[in-house]
Structure 1
């Protein structure tokens, strides 16, 4: 691999500065037991909150464990030491609450009255048809 030039290094540093100014990062994080949510205040003045049961590694954490949240890396991450859990702030803001495999497992868990009714109707007709071939 070729050595980086000063121009490439300077360009990378400038991209990092621009991201720090434009991309929201955490300024504070806490677990609110009353609402049952992790609350993250962001550098852009917004506040983001999420229920820990949605996030990989926090599903069965106790209130005391959740309250021990720390901010990592200039506000780009959240960390729970006792749980060995790290979550990306940009990822959370994008709706990513875990790894790709974790998110794929969660995708089929959402239920609604319409989904339940469709499943019952399908079951009454004998269930899912067998694959042909």
Structure 2
């Protein structure tokens, strides 16, 4: 994971924008990267409608994504690190 150093303090990339398209959630990070992941990697997002997926908001100064209607929170550092539930655990 790429970190940013600010005055000798390591700062993890945070989200500046988040959106969903075609069952994929995208996040634009403070370091300029855009990353995406399939919604079906998370059980609650897998069951969500396309419209519900689009209702993602950024919380905690860019360190979390929130879907209020779904009561789902995902950390941005976890996404950047690739910490997704294993498919076999979702069944």
Query: What TM-score do the two structures reach when normalised by structure 1?
Result: 0.57
1:18 aligns with 2:5: no
Name the residue aligned to 2:77: 90
- Looking at structure 1, the residues matched to 57 and 88 of structure 2 have their Cα atoms a distance apart, in angstroms, of 31
Q: CA deviation at 1:107?
A: 5.2
- Looking at structure 1, the residues matched to 87 and 47 of structure 2 have their Cα atoms a distance apart, in angstroms, of 19
Correspondence list, 1:25-104, <5 A: 25-33=14-22, 36-97=23-84, 103=85
Partner of 2:32, secondary structure, is coil
Partner of 1:71, secondary structure, is strand
User: Which 4+ runs in 1 deviate beyond 6 A?
Assistant: none
Q: Deviations over 1:32-53 (max 9, x none)?
A: 13xx311100000000101100
Query: What TM-score do the two structures reach when normalised by structure 2?
Result: 0.81
- How many residue pairs get aligned? The number is 83
- Looking at structure 2, the residues matched to 32 and 45 of structure 1 have their Cα atoms a distance apart, in angstroms, of 19
- Looking at structure 2, the residues matched to 74 and 96 of structure 1 have their Cα atoms a distance apart, in angstroms, of 20
Structure 2: any 5+ residue segments left out of the alignment?
1-7
Q: CA deviation at 1:18?
A: 2.3
Greater C-alpha Rg: 1
Greater share of helix: 1
Q: Which has the higher contact order (CA 8 A, sep 6+)?
A: 2
